[in-house]
Structure 1
Amino acid sequence: MLTSTLDASLIVLNAKAASAEEAIGLLAARLEAAGRVRPSYGPAVIERERTMPTGLPLGAINAAIPHTDREHVLAPAVALAVLDEPVPFASMDDPDERIAVRLVFALALTDKDAQITMLQSIMGLLQDQSVLEGIAAAHSPDEVLSLISA
């Protein structure tokens, strides 16, 4: 399912962000430019992240999966930022804990069941540190897509 909603134009490699908010804003702008989300998407994701954080401690390479309600979404999509330097996201398990995140998957989905399925798909991918290392070292969006679909 991930490969059907993530395309090369929505993958940002060597992304520069100084904060979780900047990383989310970068992906929201990419999704908006692609016609997948409304202008309200970015601020809604940032607000949701404050109350229901999505940082995941995974080991050497950590991830976050920010998302928001479907009213901000025009067409299903996932955008991915591979940050050149980690930024702190609050932990999903303990909002007071900060996690240094390099991979940010922004979900823009229109169906609640699809959101659960997508989260499961991404969580399965995130269990494999070698795949995460490959994504972090990728030189092109197509390389990322081939790692995800393998």
Structure 2
Amino acid sequence: MDLIKINLDSVTDKEVIKELGSLMKKKNYVKQSYIDAVLHREESLPTGLNIGDTCVAIPHTDPIHVNMPAIAVGCLKNPVKFRSMIDPERKLDVRVVFLLAVKDPKKQVELLTKLMDLFKNVEILKEIETADKTESIAQIMDKAIS
């Protein structure tokens, strides 16, 4: 629950990544290099996804910047523009960000598959987007990725 932020009041994608990455850094989930590595990767390989009723982003970087696996979730007070994974020229109004710290590259595909399954369930995604308690989001995430 200490990696979940509700009503995150960031204005840019970089601010969101820095804010969520700082939560991970404070708990020593990631190395000092992690935030800059995520920002650099996002420039060349954007992670915004249009899920239909809402848009999400799943920024991440290479395992060498990670100490322990973790996911930080940010529910944004106002949508923030992230470039689309599918069409990098297009900017999406993202409402929920899942910042990933993956230690084992083999598990990254498995985690992304579980997140995509979560994204397919519009009702659950809306629950995350509109949650007013971090506990609610933590419970949903535990079920989704366990």
Do these two structures clear the TM 0.5 threshold for a shared fold by scoring above it? yes
Which of 106, 111, 116 is residue 118 of structure 1 equivalent to?
111
Distance 2:116 2:110 in 1: 10
Which of 8, 13, 35 is residue 6 of structure 2 equivalent to?
13
Distance 1:145 1:44 in 2: 26
Q: TM-score, length-normalised on structure 1?
A: 0.92
Task: Report what 1:83 is aligned to.
Answer: 76
Structure 1: any 5+ residue segments left out of the alignment? 1-7
How many angstroms does 1:139 deviate by?
1.3
Percentage of identical aligned residues: 36
Write out the 4+ residue segments of structure 1 that deviate beyond 4 Å after TM superposition: none
Which of 60, 71, 84 is residue 64 of structure 2 equivalent to?
71
The answer as to 2:64 corresponding to 1:106 is no
1:33-48 matches, within 5 Å, as 33-48=26-41
Distance 1:144 1:19 in 2: 23
Query: Per-residue displacement from partner, 1:59-89 (whole Å, max 9, x unpaired)?
Result: 2221000000011101111111011111010
Query: Per-residue displacement from partner, 1:11-50 (whole Å, max 9, x unpaired)?
Result: 1111111111000011110000011001110111011001
Structure 2: any 5+ residue segments left out of the alignment? none
Distance 2:27 2:109 in 1: 23
How many angstroms does 1:146 deviate by?
2.4
Task: Report what 2:15 is aligned to.
Answer: 22
The answer as to 2:123 corresponding to 1:141 is no
Number of matched pairs? 143
